[in-house]
Structure 1
Amino acid sequence: MVETMGCCGLLQARCHRHDPQKYIIQGEIEIDRSPWFSLCASGSSVVFRLYSRDSMDPTTRKGIESENTFVMKGKELERKKHEVLSMKVPMKVIKFKLKFEVTRDFGIPGAFVVENRDKKHEFFLKSITLHYINHPNILEERKFHYCCGSWVYPITKTGFKRIFFSDQLYLPTKTPQGLVELRKKELQKLQAPGPKGEWNPWDRIYDYDVYNNLGDPEKGRLYDRPVLGDSTNFPYPRRLKTGYLNCQHVDHSRESGPARCFQFYVPPDERMSDEKLQELKNNFVEALIRFLPPEPTLPHLWDGECPDFVTKVAHFFVPKAAISKKDVRFIRSIIDFCRKLKLPSSHGGPSRSDPSEEQDIFEDIIGFFPDKEVEELDDSDKQRLEKLVPKEILDQVVATLALKRQHVSAQLPSIIAEEKFASFADTEFGRQMLAGTNPVRIRRLKKEEFSLLMESFQKKYQGNRNDLKALEVDVEEAIKASSAFILDHHYLEQFLKMINGKGVCAYATRTILIADERPYETIKPVAIELSLSEDSDDGCSMFLVPENDLIWEFAKFHVASNDAAYHQLVSHWLHTHAVVEPFIIATRRQLSVMHPIHRLLDPHFKDTLHINALARAVFLNAGGILETLLFTGEYSMELSSHLYKEWRFDKQALPEDLLERGMAKRRVRDEVVSGPMEQVGRDKSSNKAATGAEQTMFEVDAEVELVLEDYPYAKDGIEIWTAIETWVTEYCNVFYHNDNDVKEDEEIQEWWNEIKTRGHKDRNEGWYDINTFESLVKALTTLIWITSGLHAAVNFGQYGYGGWPPNRPMLLRKFLPKEEEVYEEVNIMKFVEEMLPDKFQMKLAIAVMDLLSRHTSEEVYLGQTSPQKEWPLIEDQSIIQKKFKEFRENLEAIERNIKERNKEYILMNRWGHAKIPYKLLYPDTSKPMPPISKEKGKHQPEKMDINERGIPNSISI
């Protein structure tokens, strides 16, 4: 609710007459999320002072200052006071009027400082809008807007006043003289080292640190982890420094953490709102409740006559054999990790609980009986959860279950929502490498590489040599046609001796895949190599072709397990969350809020530092959730450090990534006229910096042509990339008129240098100088792509594919069986049961996938702006609003294009056997969140696939 409160707005608690020799500037401030302000702010508790933009005080070298203005409480506030105290009126946003007296030579207000003199309370300053009254040269209609969006803590705690600048944006060399000194002073505060001892919530400190807070050696050797970063053996991007003291015992290089999980330090402006944090907690609690409670005691359908589909499933494991009632337990062990519930289709179709449909056990295994009260957690599950989730989360789970809550629902994972057996098909296995949760690892197989592989295959293959020769011929033909590919997880071999054991059995795999001829282009595996460390006594290294259905299916499990670990640790965490964090720190330290690039990037950094801190505290920590779920266990982060050695910023640009992996070829735009948007052939060379500039590796006239036209991630991604690049180019055109403007931008140069030499100090390769307009655009486009399109592609499909653990098992507990054991049915049943993760691990994995795949109600999507941070509409920069509107329209056109492609069933990689349309790169710039229901402020049940929500601006989950 918005209320306007009265205010005297002058120096003293009583009004005084206006000095006719001075001008009046008045306006209003918006205070958000601060009930204290509406109730208690009075007298001289909050003080404002304006600074001139153009007129400088020669003594202070700052803009001429106005007189102080105090926020005062008026009669209208007194009338509302009782209502606020009784909590009948939620004071979400409060508006106060302000009035400043300034000298006649004051000119345009460019900045203001605010001093919070209250000793206890902070408030969230949302914005201030000002205008002159009766100025002879400045129209009253002209507004001076300050988008603040920041917490203002008591000066007794912070020791300094907060400064805010107007929405007008300036390159450093173009800064008005009245703001030059203030601009430098504000950056110096953010760069200053923090105080000794533990940092406080009001400290605004941005500094770098290594990953020395994942382990807890004081708990014992099992919780000891290597420090990641500033090391040749363990290189890593830097994280945000938190100021916590190092451990007092055992290892003084390790940082101790806060007493409670959610109390770690994050700069106040980087913290997510209390509402969003609570929503994330609630989502986590609901996910655990949805999937973790024990099986209801009602009779299970397995106890009845064995349905026909069980026989079909069995045929994937036991060819030409019917499965008996007593053998049904091996399948039940795979899927008996959830409850019975009739659910809607995950694609928003008609309800799948129609009793007229054939009895469908796959509908019965997700969720709860709708007429059955939720039971308490098993004691063993509760004990395991106590070690994995924060205490306040577990307490909320237990408290909710104690209330006998009913009707907890969930969508079926997309992989089984329409076709129950799709994940067993080879073509579906291959399709997921192009359109699943990890479509960024597959690459084209080269002839030289295949020749070396064949030497290894010859040693490991134990089958018919004619099959091996036929494979060699087929692959060589596919290589010539650029339709042979490889999914390489062989890097695991050096870790297997450490990883295998303690109930984990892992191979290092290499999988060769071949695509069919166009127009279908379905891709399927034709050979799998499974390797162990040379001195291993467990299992055996081997090479397989799809001649034995059972062994082949088990081998695909191991490949999927390798890929799932790579996805979580590298594609998702390292290549998005971790690598972006140093960019955010450098941006806050080196780019003024008045800098155009700071404003451009700011929406793409929303909540990232906070969500990364949460991840380190709950998911990545020693003995945490990922170490429990992934076969890589305690070596998980060490493995991601090893793969960081391959990371290069220049290859994170989507076109460069596709070219590097051989999934695309370079082509000249003039030769092939095609465009992802309705407006094609947009001329980017209009930028003045492009005129006469020498050619660089970032030639804007270059495009890529996909080797596989039906590669959904790449096809949709290139269109998104092009739209982002166009928007960034148009935006930068407003401020940079030639290459020299880029070279002389000292803040950009310091920003880029700090990223390379401090934030990513351990990676010397893959960087380039930002000394041309094109190089600046490419760097910014790459960064925005990582935070938006790339993260959306590797994050929001996790439940759709990983919510069915047999499709993406995170660990396996058995090596492949020996050939002579394959058709002994009893052993097979026991083998499958023992091969997959235990029931607790599968249930927890589903809950985590559900949590990570959900968007929050505060999400701001690509092509949208936060209501608090609209683009400036003053002076010559009003063109930005127009260009941003074009960006949004381009994204909407792209979404229409994607939806049209998703209607083409001939594009099998967009649907596959699972019939899952590729929705992860829907820009979705217009679709609202589901309406809020009246029950406890919760969203109504989703009627659309949770993958269909769009591309968030930032890495915020």
Structure 2
Amino acid sequence: MLGGMLGNVVDEISGKNKSGRKIKGKVVLMNKSVLNINDLLSLQSATTVMNSAYDQLLGQQVSLQLISSENADSENGNKGKLGKPVSLQRWSLQLPSPLAKESWFAVSFDLDEEFGTPGAIVIRNNQASEFYLKTITLDDVNGAGQIHFVCNSWIYPDNRYKKPRIFFSNKSYLPHEMPALLRKHREEELEVLRGDGKTELKTGDRVYDYDTYNDLGDPDWNFELARPELDPCAESRASIVGSISNIGQGTIISNVVSRAPSFFSTYVPRDEQFGHLKAADFVAYNLKVVVQNIIPTFEAFINRTPNEFDSFKEVDDLYFNGIQLPTDVFNQLTSNVPLPMLKELFRTDGQQLLKFPVPQVIEDRSKPTAWRTDEEFAREMLAGINPVVICLLKEFPPTSKLSPGIYGNQNSTITKEDIEYNLDGLSVEEALNSNRLFILDHHDTNMLFLRKIINNTSAKAYASRTILFLRGDETLKPVAIELSLPHPDGEEFGAVSKVYTPAEHGIEGSIWQFAKAFVALNDEGQHQLVSHWLNTHAVLEPFVIATNRQLSVVHPIYKLLHPHYRDTMTINALARELLVNADGVIEKTFYTGMYSLEVSSEAYKSWNFLEQALPNDLKKRGIAVDDANSQHGLRLLIQDYPYAVDGLKIWFAIEKWVRDYCFFYYKTDEMVQQDPELQAWWKELKEVGHGDLKHQPWWPKMETREELIQSCTIIIWIASALHAAVNFGQYTYAGYGPNRPTISRRLMPEKGSPEYAEVEKNPEKAFFRTMASQMQTLTGISVVEALSKHASDEVYLGQRDTPNWTIDKQPLAAFEAFQKRLAEIEQEIIKLNKDKKLKNRVGPVNVPYTLLYPSGEVGLSGKGIPNSIAI
């Protein structure tokens, strides 16, 4: 019987009224059973899913009621006239498999001639279970064509709502342009989304609100898990400093963050949660499985084997040959995690072999040690996963910005004699004056925490400065590394520093490799805690919240920005639960340990919204200068800088798209100033969302169209290209632990010490005794693999998951031009990567720079710019 119901069964919703005309259309939705990640992950059969759908839906009721945008109804408080409710009597069972995306239903309304044009629709769910409503389309309305309602929302039983669910047509309206009969509905919907700031939030709620989370620590469980509150701004209920570690929005009840039982324990508004995107669910589930099941199993494996690597070959075997798992360990893995998922994550097969995908940085076996070269070490500062730190060196020796009164003399001890012989015949002054010296500076940021790290954790680290020289072929050559420790007698005595210079052979060559490893260690910590977590995930979330609280779904700026917020709140909640929490993955595997989020919080103090614009960032770092004769008025001092070259192409494409879009809706600066929703949005962002920085003078005042364009371009850049550049190459470079170590257990070997003798005798073994343990390495590889994957239903820059997102033709044409430009940029990048003269595009490891390709591929492709921060 059930089989006979399958196929394109279409049930009609019909309503009888004093008929003047009939409007037909369709409803597109998905049932919860189709979307349930637990069903998918347990590989539930299609029959079971469909039977579940039949049981849940048959005989239940959903009503639809149109609201006129033209004619008032005195019985409706002089809002738009209401059509007669139309009930759904029987659902379609068009659910062919658990992978079904959607079901379609016919809909038919009888309206009297006085109704006018529908502008909104009320949905009431009178069944016991929620469902996901995608779109409603009305055909041949007043003979003028279609009206689309883009919903993309979970509809819970009607008794869960104080006000019924309402959706507006896809026409964009500035507040003063909204049809008068719909304005009250617009205002009431925003009130619902803002909530009252008091009620405890539960699963299924839609409220967006701020809170300073301090749930990363868990002192009630274990006093060693206590962590300091990262909120120095007591006047702000929603301090971003707290949010840097925990940005996410629950409600404080007696100083306890409310939680809700769900895939994630932290409250996230229902429409922000994974669930409507099965592939994103699967990627997130992979991460959860890694942390909760696979890592503990690794511990069982490590406990019965030597817990150290002795050579690079042993690490390489993880990728090329695999390692044999004991039967009981394999059984433990396969009992916790379905074998198909294990094979997806680690290529584990029936032979009990654990084998990771090969990171691109070691994929070219004709050059197995290319990652260790000085050229590759420097190239990754321009084309790796953290290409946003390197700066022009403007003075020599480098100086510190730390207060001498507190930290003593922290200026560099690198001398001219240390580097001048290695500057291709130039003096230090000549190299400085010709803009040929650059620096990777991790000194001041590390020095703030080093004493605590070394004294209170098992990790060892340095503050570091790396000086690089720009050669004639546009490659960078490291010429000196300075490693510094706090003075043993106290902060006020400054730093104790030692300078290392390049060497290729013997013990000197090995010591130089150690020095580079400590620099990479610092860079990886800065990358994960600042470039990645802080500067993309954390700082963007207040924009997500403020946009949903203050901008109506019909506001053009909401429609512009909303695609760039998809799943960000949920992935941040997942990160707080698994990655950046007390004793979580970051604390266990990074040298910053329990101080990791304090590092992020400290860095946030100097965060500047305007400096997130790529041209401003490059100029601040001295990498670019204004030049009226160059394209876009900007000239790069390192011409072969793949991140900057490709990034500027993307930046200016986004800016043009945003400009064309905003100019359509805002004809004058006065329209920006007089838009109450826009002004409320910007005020909340500054004063609440980023409240700890609200007094900073650099905030745009949001008084001109240029300020609006610049601000929206920055938001889209952060959410899309910047995040892509610092995230999706993680497995490519950090999936091979020796290339990007995250923790060290010993300091540099000193002459005369047993460690130094060990380096002389067996440098590879000494390296692995110094850097991450086997357990830390396996953990790091597993996590960055999950974080580096593109989902199969990724929505990339220049794409929309709903084609009818607006009815306005000019913005649609501008978006089409944006798509065309992105396609051109991709071809330009492909051409650049093939240019043999551009040595930084692929480097010694033969890995082309593809992180800023606009389009992408599923999995560990290392290419593609998703619209949003979704992993």
CA change 1:777–1:492 in 2 (3 A) is: same
Instruction: State how far apart, in whole Å, the 2-side matches of 1:176 and 1:807 are.
Output: 59
Query: Which residue identity is paired with 1:277?
Result: D
The answer for the alignment partner of 1:56 in structure 2 is: 72
Query: Which residue identity is paired with 2:184?
Result: E
The answer for the alignment partner of 1:787 in structure 2 is: 719
Instruction: State how far apart, in whole Å, the 2-side matches of 1:398 and 1:533 are.
Output: 46
- For the 8 Å contact 1:337–1:843, the answer to whether it is kept is no
Instruction: State how far apart, in whole Å, the 2-side matches of 1:211 and 1:883 are.
Output: 40
1:946 alignment partner, SS class: coil
Percent identity at matched positions? 37
Deviation at 1:148, TM superposition (A): 0.6
Query: Which residue identity is paired with 2:180?
Result: Q
The answer for the alignment partner of 1:770 in structure 2 is: 702
The answer for the alignment partner of 1:695 in structure 2 is: none
Deviation at 1:337, TM superposition (A): 4.5
2:543 corresponds, among 573, 580, 583, to 583
1:858 corresponds, among 789, 793, 797, to 793
The answer for the alignment partner of 2:389 in structure 1 is: 441
Instruction: State how far apart, in whole Å, the 2-side matches of 1:432 and 1:291 are.
Output: 32
Instruction: State how far apart, in whole Å, the 2-side matches of 1:947 and 1:398 are.
Output: 20
- For the 8 Å contact 1:213–1:255, the answer to whether it is kept is yes
Deviations 1:382-432 (CA, angstroms, capped at 9, x unpaired): 9xx99xxxx989998799999946677543212111121112211111111
CA change 1:400–1:818 in 2 (3 A) is: closer
Deviation at 1:262, TM superposition (A): 2.7
2:361 alignment partner, SS class: helix
Q: Does 1:217 align with 2:219?
A: yes
1:919 alignment partner, SS class: coil
CA change 1:628–1:459 in 2 (3 A) is: closer
Instruction: State how far apart, in whole Å, the 1-side matches of 2:316 and 2:153 are.
Output: 44
Deviations 1:100-121 (CA, angstroms, capped at 9, x unpaired): 2333222211001111122x21
The aligned runs of 1:590-739 (5 Å cut-off) are: 590-668=550-628, 671-672=629-630, 674=631, 703-739=633-669
Deviations 1:773-813 (CA, angstroms, capped at 9, x unpaired): 11111100110000110000000111111111111100111
The answer for the alignment partner of 1:953 in structure 2 is: 867
- For the 8 Å contact 1:788–1:954, the answer to whether it is kept is yes
Instruction: State how far apart, in whole Å, the 2-side matches of 1:94 and 1:554 are.
Output: 59
The answer for the alignment partner of 1:332 in structure 2 is: 310
The answer for the alignment partner of 1:543 in structure 2 is: 499
CA change 1:743–1:23 in 2 (3 A) is: same
Query: Which residue identity is paired with 1:23?
Result: R
Q: Does 1:107 align with 2:105?
A: no
1:854 alignment partner, SS class: coil
2:460 corresponds, among 483, 498, 505, to 505
CA change 1:759–1:400 in 2 (3 A) is: closer
Deviation at 1:730, TM superposition (A): 1.2
The answer for the alignment partner of 2:329 in structure 1 is: 377
The answer for the alignment partner of 2:45 in structure 1 is: none
2:607 alignment partner, SS class: coil
Instruction: State how far apart, in whole Å, the 1-side matches of 2:783 and 2:843 are.
Output: 25
Instruction: State how far apart, in whole Å, the 2-side matches of 1:458 and 1:753 are.
Output: 40
- For the 8 Å contact 1:23–1:132, the answer to whether it is kept is no
The answer for the alignment partner of 1:143 in structure 2 is: 146
The answer for the alignment partner of 1:935 in structure 2 is: none
CA change 1:176–1:115 in 2 (3 A) is: same
2:241 corresponds, among 235, 249, 254, to 235
CA change 1:458–1:4 in 2 (3 A) is: closer
**Between 729-738 and 537-546, the greater mean CA deviation after superposition:** 537-546
TM-score in terms of structure 2 length: 0.86
- For the 8 Å contact 1:30–1:95, the answer to whether it is kept is yes
Q: Does 1:3 align with 2:8?
A: yes
**Between 222-231 and 423-432, the greater mean CA deviation after superposition:** 222-231
Q: Does 1:163 align with 2:166?
A: yes
Deviation at 1:259, TM superposition (A): 6.7
2:681 corresponds, among 738, 748, 751, to 751
Q: Does 1:870 align with 2:820?
A: no
Deviations 1:188-212 (CA, angstroms, capped at 9, x unpaired): 1111225644x22221110001131
Deviation at 1:3, TM superposition (A): 3.2
The aligned runs of 1:480-499 (5 Å cut-off) are: 480-490=433-443, 491-499=445-453
Query: Which residue identity is paired with 1:156?
Result: N
- For the 8 Å contact 2:28–2:105, the answer to whether it is kept is yes
CA change 1:864–1:409 in 2 (3 A) is: farther
Deviations 1:332-376 (CA, angstroms, capped at 9, x unpaired): 3445346466xxxxxxxxxxxxxxxxxxxxx43xx35xxx78744
The answer for the alignment partner of 1:30 in structure 2 is: 28
Instruction: State how far apart, in whole Å, the 2-side matches of 1:841 and 1:177 are.
Output: 61
Deviation at 1:724, TM superposition (A): 0.6
CA change 1:643–1:457 in 2 (3 A) is: closer
CA change 1:803–1:40 in 2 (3 A) is: closer
- For the 8 Å contact 1:513–1:526, the answer to whether it is kept is yes
Instruction: State how far apart, in whole Å, the 1-side matches of 2:400 and 2:317 are.
Output: 49
2:691 alignment partner, SS class: coil
Instruction: State how far apart, in whole Å, the 2-side matches of 1:907 and 1:892 are.
Output: 22
1:499 alignment partner, SS class: helix
Instruction: State how far apart, in whole Å, the 2-side matches of 1:510 and 1:400 are.
Output: 37
Query: Which residue identity is paired with 2:846?
Result: K
The answer for the alignment partner of 1:351 in structure 2 is: none
The answer for the alignment partner of 1:414 in structure 2 is: 360
1:815 corresponds, among 742, 747, 754, to 747
Deviation at 1:40, TM superposition (A): 5.1
1:806 alignment partner, SS class: helix
Deviation at 1:231, TM superposition (A): 3.0
Instruction: State how far apart, in whole Å, the 2-side matches of 1:769 and 1:420 are.
Output: 53
The answer for the alignment partner of 1:124 in structure 2 is: 132
2:61 corresponds, among 30, 40, 45, to 45
Deviation at 1:128, TM superposition (A): 0.7
How many residues are aligned here?
Answer: 812
The answer for the alignment partner of 1:272 in structure 2 is: 274
1:53 alignment partner, SS class: strand
Query: Which residue identity is paired with 2:29?
Result: I
- For the 8 Å contact 1:115–1:155, the answer to whether it is kept is yes
Deviations 1:424-454 (CA, angstroms, capped at 9, x unpaired): 211111111111110001111112663779x
The answer for the alignment partner of 2:44 in structure 1 is: none
Deviation at 1:457, TM superposition (A): 9.6
Instruction: State how far apart, in whole Å, the 1-side matches of 2:153 and 2:87 are.
Output: 19
Deviation at 1:771, TM superposition (A): 1.1
Which protein is bigger by CA-based radius of gyration? 1
How much is the aligned-residue C-alpha RMSD, in angstroms? 3.7
CA change 1:88–1:426 in 2 (3 A) is: closer
2:646 alignment partner, SS class: helix
Deviation at 1:604, TM superposition (A): 0.6
Instruction: State how far apart, in whole Å, the 2-side matches of 1:809 and 1:185 are.
Output: 52
Instruction: State how far apart, in whole Å, the 1-side matches of 2:196 and 2:296 are.
Output: 45
CA change 1:540–1:737 in 2 (3 A) is: closer
1:114 alignment partner, SS class: strand
2:789 alignment partner, SS class: coil
- For the 8 Å contact 1:215–1:225, the answer to whether it is kept is yes
TM-score in terms of structure 1 length: 0.78
CA change 1:39–1:235 in 2 (3 A) is: closer
Instruction: State how far apart, in whole Å, the 2-side matches of 1:610 and 1:451 are.
Output: 41
The answer for the alignment partner of 1:353 in structure 2 is: none
Instruction: State how far apart, in whole Å, the 2-side matches of 1:881 and 1:2 are.
Output: 34
Instruction: State how far apart, in whole Å, the 1-side matches of 2:101 and 2:830 are.
Output: 39
**Between 24-33 and 163-172, the greater mean CA deviation after superposition:** 24-33
Query: Which residue identity is paired with 2:438?
Result: F
Deviations 1:857-907 (CA, angstroms, capped at 9, x unpaired): 1210011110x35332x4xx1222222111111001001100101001211
Deviation at 1:475, TM superposition (A): 3.2
